[in-house]
Amino acid sequence: EDKVVQSPLSLVVHEGDTVTLNCSYEVTNFRSLLWYKQEKKAPTFLFMLTSSGIEKKSGRLSSILDKKELFSILNITATQTGDSAVYLCAVEDVPGGGADGLTFGKGTHLIIQP
């Protein structure tokens, strides 16, 4: 059974701080790891990672995958109050291998204080 564990489950920091969110996983046949941001409604896509060691960046957010150690991190630099959200990590198997769809972690609830 696929498993995704995120840490910390909640985090409170001040505006301007840098945060690192962690995601470790166990999957039958790994295809990709995805990060989503969820505010009060639907999760919105941030990154899809398939290759180890290649950093993906979008503005102040970046993410990297380590397929050997089975984890990924999501970094947010110079945090703003608008970054407050639940950040979800999910993994997907290759077709025919393990669970279908995405297997999500419980998320990290990030709160940015002004």
Partner 1 sequence: EAGVVQSPRYKIIEKKQPVAFWCNPISGHNTLYWYRQNLGQGPELLIRYENEEAVDDSQLPKDRFSAERLKGVDSTLKIQPAELGDSAVYLCASSTGRGREQFFGPGTRLTVL
Binding region for partner 1 (CB under 8 A): 4, 31-32, 34, 36, 41-45, 48, 88, 90, 92, 94-95, 99-107
Q: How far apart are CB 74 and partner 1 at their closest, in Å?
A: 14
Q: Which two tokens stand for residue 5?
A: 């564990």
CA distance 30 to 18: 29
Q: Which two tokens stand for residue 80?
A: 């703003």
| CB-nearer residue toward partner 1: 15 or 61 | 61
Q: How far apart are CB 110 and partner 1 at their closest, in Å?
A: 14
Neighbours of 100 (CB within 10 A): 10
Q: How far apart are CB 114 and partner 1 at their closest, in Å?
A: 25
42-56: burial string, b at 16+ Cβ within 10 Å, e else: ebeebbebeeeeeeb
| CB-nearer residue toward partner 1: 74 or 88 | 88
